[in-house]
A and B are shown apart, each in its own frame.
Chain A
Amino acid sequence: MPRPDAEPRHRTRGSDPGPRTTDHGPLGGRHERPDARAKVAGSTRYVGDLSLPGMLHAGVAVAPIASARVLALDTAAARAVDGVEAVVTAAALPGANLVGVIFPDQPLLAADRVRMVGDRLALVAARTPEAAWRAARLVEATLEPLPAVHDPVAALVPGAPLVHDGGNLVRTFQVARGDAGRRSADVVVEALYHVGGQEHAYLEPQGCLAIPEGRSRITIIASCQCPFYVQQAVARVLGLPLAAVRVEQAPTGGGFGGKEDYPSEPAACAAVLAFATGRPVRFVLPRELDMQVSTKRHAMVVRHRWGADRNGRLRFAEVDAVLDAGAYVGISTVVAERANVSAIGPYDVPNVHVRTRIAYTNNLFGGAFRGFGAPQVTWAAEATIDRLARAVGLDPLEFRRRNLLDDHRRRICTGQLLRRPVLARECLDRAATLAGWDEFHARPRAADTATREGMGIALALYGCNLHHGGQRLDRSSAVVILQADGSVVVRVGLTEIGQGNLVACQTIAAQALGVDPTAVQVWQPDTTTVADSGPTVASRGAHASGMAILDAVRRLRTRLDPVAAELLGCRREQVELAAGRARVAGEPDRSVTIAQVAAELAARRIEAIATGWYRSRPRRFDAATGEGEPYEFYAVACHVARVAVDRDLGVVRVEEVSAAHDVGRVIHRDALEGQIQGGVVQGVGWGTTERLALDHGRLVNPSFTDYLIPTFADAPKVNIAIVESDGAGGPFGAKGVGEPALIPAAAAVRNAVVAALGVELDALPLVPPAIVAALGDAHPFAWVAEEEHEHVRSETVAPGR
């Protein structure tokens, strides 16, 4: 909330209103999101608002240290707490003690070994949340500390403490093209980047409600992105068939990847407790615990050696990245696959050697997070591109223009040819124009002021949808039901998590059926209503669910069109659906309402329900060499950031970000702009103030008091350029934008800050102490910290308020 005396801050919205007339359908317009009013008014009921008669509350006892042997667990005191109904340890689990998504390396409950702070030791169900958490605190664990490793690079050195028996190197991904080619480079830049992780900071913490039916089946209502992941995890720990586990997605207050893989864990916990007690169990994580134990964006260490010729053409790029998986693989392998393909950005480089290794450590474990490994390597790549531009004496824009992929040079590092049109140059020009790049640089700037201004640019190449390695998951299911009154029910398997999937599905269905969006009701996913549709990740929500909806509408029309044709007195091939009517193509006056057609279908007892299916096209990819087609198609994004840096205090203010995005076709303009604005702000936060402070694997700032996400006062003005084109493979030609919206933002900010200060900054985030440290002796008061100080008191400043 702004201070009452604060200056009003500018907020812009794209001025393009988009198509408005219903005749064109709702596609690309701005009709009201179906979930908006309830969310804004506070009437949406999240998991934490749900209650059932006899419902119990879950708590969990977790390990306070990062590496230990579990010698004993004493639950007597916990069981004695008034109101406690069950305390469950590993020994009492009904099914498999396993929650790993891909690798079987993570137990639901630690039995003998602790590998990270937050490993679960025991679960509690009690009649009140207070009793559950009090009992959880009273679980007495006798832990024998073991050596731990917290640095992913050190973890790969022989002799490092082993997190799991098989060694700390989980996997290596590589892609190589051309040869070293160093001789032809006139300038070579070497750099080592330390890119920090990020907390998702969804508004609603992790939570679910498990409702057992005896011991034969169970319903889970969960705040999640991936109901089918939750279904599989619960079936496994309970030893039930998939059909006996129903997962319904609750309205979800933000995900950002944090509710992709992680929700399986609290759901499995609640399910175990529900079966142990025979009663509904609600499990909502308190914020501090949520931040402490849930997945994070992976921290990465990225080593670069890149070369260019004196004309400013890239000659080679060598990237050696290490990704800190933390104590469990989770989905780190998939994150590393994307990082590996994204490591050199949208640039034409003849010789490429990229290696991405995944290291186990005893840190919090990495998981899915908007961008999925791409933001980290993009941050490094765009820093190196700026270094090279400086080294050859070119403007950062001009250097990029000479190296960007385009319609003639469209081979990426894996050898894949991008589909035309390749819009990198277009995005760069649009973003630079919006930002006023030339005007900014033409303006004189004083060098001795406290506040230094800078402008920086960054681009990203984003592989749309799932990587080849995850292609088995890349399918989706939809159900469309035409009601007798002409209204439409749509069910899909992909989730609304704030990103706008409901409105996207509504728009797509309305467009395809020629009805008003308000006639279409899209319902939250439920695993009993649609087939496994894979995860809501990889910016695939609108794509995967939209394609399935279009398929369902096509199948529905095989029954609808003949009835409409009969009513209209035309051939079925002449029937078109638009503006809420079925009409004869070319003769708009000959029409009936969709409601009339629906009533006729009902009267004749014709099947008015259709299913739809989508699967991505098969592709060729060699995981061993990294060659082939890792993604079906790609999107490009370019961000330009303008910053004001208080040099002596090291405080960065991001004033403005101009974002150009290659989106194919717009489905819903407000949702699209919202994604871009949100992605930019989240990227800016990651790049500047969001620091995960880890001490021996423990997060020491697990609260919004000390983990600083941007407030509205910190949000930059966001200018948006939407670059549309034909030819993308999504519904009506759309491409996903959820992740591209974030990926280049922090890199653009970094380059802007470097431009403002004239020093390289190679660690993210750019918190004030890091900037002051990077200035070194150039800081006018560096000397005060070097001298001896007589005033020393033994007391310390407390970390709390």
Chain B
Amino acid sequence: MDVPVQEVIRPATIAEALAALAEREDARPIAGGTDLMVQLRDGRRRAGRLVDLGRLGLAGIRRTRDAIEVGAATTMDAIAASAEIKRSFPALASAARQVGAWPIQCRATLGGNLANGSPAADTAPPLLIAEASVTIASAAGTRRLRVADLFLGPGRTALTPGELVTSVRLPLDEPAPGERVVERFTKVGPRREQVISVVSLAGRAVIRPDGTFALVRLAFGSVAPVPVRALTAERALAGRRPDAAARRDAARAVQDDIAPIDDVRAPARYRRIAAAVLLDRFLQEAARG
């Protein structure tokens, strides 16, 4: 079955793109199309007009003084292959390499992964622990929004019609001398490739020379209506060593950060247990360094 779209516009500038989006209420931006095309075909989303972002120069990874800016049209493959990202945001590089399979990674974009609004978006937990923000442009101007405020519910985001994510900003945060950083992304799925996360975790720990946490940030996917920061678990761990007692407290605390349901991929009970397992493994790794 074909995709029910009336027109496709290929603007050459961001201004043209925003105008094309503003003209029709049923206009939608499209980049890789790996989610959108499927949703259009299934009737889960509708678009009378598609605005192709391919010619806007929105792809690219750029380092500024205190941040890395990732263009919204940067592909998962480019993110996963980027030395800059691998060095400063290894969880994001790892997550990008686990979206779908390689052919998907060569089309799917970071902006699309966010704008799609899935609770299972693999790049969301790494961006949450990076405390990243998105730049959003529209005919009315641009605004900046924290990734933590972008997701509203399954398939729903704070983006309004006519708005376009143009880039994602990841603030650089160098550890103090003597501190070490452990950052990981893990996802659980029944098969090795091409699987939507049943539970995913991104964790970033900065550990002082005495073994206590200088910082610990945790975020989960697929365990709530939106990707979530596990602030309760973070508080339970603050300043402590990741020993057995702390890990157990964190496993308990994280249950209050998540709100999984039973769905076709797994029951809520499994997601609660798997979230605890992923967290425990991350903390053990942090302890080992």
Contact = CB atoms under 8 A, between A and B. Distances in A.
A700 interface: yes
A32 B266 CA distance: 44
Interface stretch (A68-76, A628-636, A720-728, A789-797): A789-797
B273 A785 contact: yes
A651 B188 contact: yes
Interface string A768-784: 11001100000111101
Contacts of A710: 191
Contacts of A796: 154, 225, 261, 263
Contacts of A781: 251, 273, 276-277, 280
B274 interface: yes
A801 B258 contact: no
A714 B189 CA distance: 12
Interface stretch (B113-121, B134-142, B172-180, B210-218): B113-121
B257 interface: yes
Nearest to A707: B264
A797 B222 contact: yes
Of the listed residues A4, A782, A797, A800, the one surrounded by the most CB atoms of chain B closer than 10 A to its CB is A797
Nearest to B192: A713
Contact of A768 (B77, B198, B257): B198
A3 B274 CA distance: 25
A574 B192 CA distance: 61
A129 B259 CA distance: 42
Interface in B242-269: 251-252, 255-261, 263-267, 269
Interface string B278-289: 101100000000
Contacts of B35: 801
Given A708-B191, A781-B251, A784-B255, A799 B225 contact: no
Contacts of A779: 273
Contact of A784 (B259, B276, B281): B276
Interface in B161-206: 188-196, 198
B9 to A, nearest CB: 21
Interface string B116-156: 10111000000000000000000000000000000001110
Contacts of B154: 795-798, 800
Contacts of B38: 705, 801
Contacts of A450: 281
Contacts of B276: 781, 784
Interface stretch (B51-59, B61-69, B96-104): B96-104
Interface residues of B, number: 61
Nearest to A767: B190
Nearest to A287: B1
Contacts of B82: none
Contact of B267 (A648, A769, A784, A792): A769
B234 to A, nearest CB: 14
Nearest to A709: B191
A2 B192 contact: no
Given A705-B196, A714-B192, A768-B198, A797 B39 contact: no
A780 B273 CA distance: 9
Judged by DSSP, the binding face of A is: loop
Contacts of A789: 255-256, 259, 272
A701 B270 contact: no
A767 B260 CA distance: 18
A792 B261 CA distance: 10
A800 B97 CA distance: 21
B277 A649 contact: yes
B7 interface: no
Contact of B191 (A650, A711, A785): A711
A782 B273 contact: yes
Interface string A679-705: 000000000110001000000110001
B256 A689 contact: no
A407 interface: no
A772 B255 contact: no
B224 interface: yes
A214 to B, nearest CB: 31
Nearest to B98: A3
Given A767-B190, A768-B198, A800 B39 contact: yes
A286 B42 CA distance: 10
Interface string A433-460: 0000000000000000010000000000
Contact of B193 (A288, A714, A785): A714
A797 B191 contact: no
Interface string B205-241: 0000000000000000010110000001000000000
B191 A798 contact: no
A365 interface: no
Contact of B119 (A2, A133, A791, A797): A797
B224 to A, nearest CB: 7
A801 B101 contact: no
A768 B225 contact: no
A587 interface: no
A801 B116 contact: yes
Contacts of B97: 3, 5
Interface string A129-163: 11001000000000000000000000000000000
Nearest to B188: A649
A286 B191 contact: no
Contacts of B264: 693, 700-701, 706, 799
Interface string B1-31: 1101000000000000000000000000000
A653 interface: yes
B270 A791 contact: no
Contacts of A767: 190
B275 to A, nearest CB: 8
B259 A792 contact: yes
Nearest to A790: B256
A791 B258 CA distance: 7
A706 B195 CA distance: 8
A4 B106 CA distance: 11
A130 B1 contact: yes
A787 interface: yes
B203 to A, nearest CB: 16
A305 to B, nearest CB: 31
Contact of B261 (A133, A780, A797): A797
A798 B116 CA distance: 12
Contact of A651 (B190, B222, B265, B280): B190
A211 B255 CA distance: 61
Nearest to A795: B225
Contact of B103 (A1, A5, A768): A1
B87 interface: no
B153 A1 contact: no
B151 to A, nearest CB: 11
A702 to B, nearest CB: 10
A527 B194 CA distance: 41
Interface of B: 1-2, 4, 35, 38-39, 42, 44, 77, 80-81, 97, 101-103, 105, 116, 118-120, 153-155, 188-196, 198, 222, 224-225, 232, 251-252, 255-261, 263-267, 269-270, 272-274, 276-278, 280-281
29 contacts: A3-B97, A5-B80, A129-B1, A130-B4, A288-B42, A450-B281, A648-B277, A649-B274, A653-B192, A689-B190, A711-B101, A711-B191, A713-B191, A713-B193, A714-B192, A769-B266, A769-B270, A780-B280, A784-B276, A785-B272, A787-B252, A789-B259, A791-B255, A793-B225, A796-B154, A797-B260, A798-B118, A800-B155, A801-B120
Given A286-B1, A649-B277, A649-B278, 18 more contacts: A3-B105, A3-B193, A648-B273, A693-B264, A710-B191, A712-B193, A714-B191, A767-B190, A769-B270, A772-B270, A781-B277, A781-B280, A784-B255, A790-B256, A792-B259, A793-B224, A796-B154, A797-B260
- The 6 A-B residue pairs with the shortest CB-CB distance in the complex, in nearest-first order: A798-B154, A769-B270, A795-B225, A713-B192, A781-B276, A713-B193
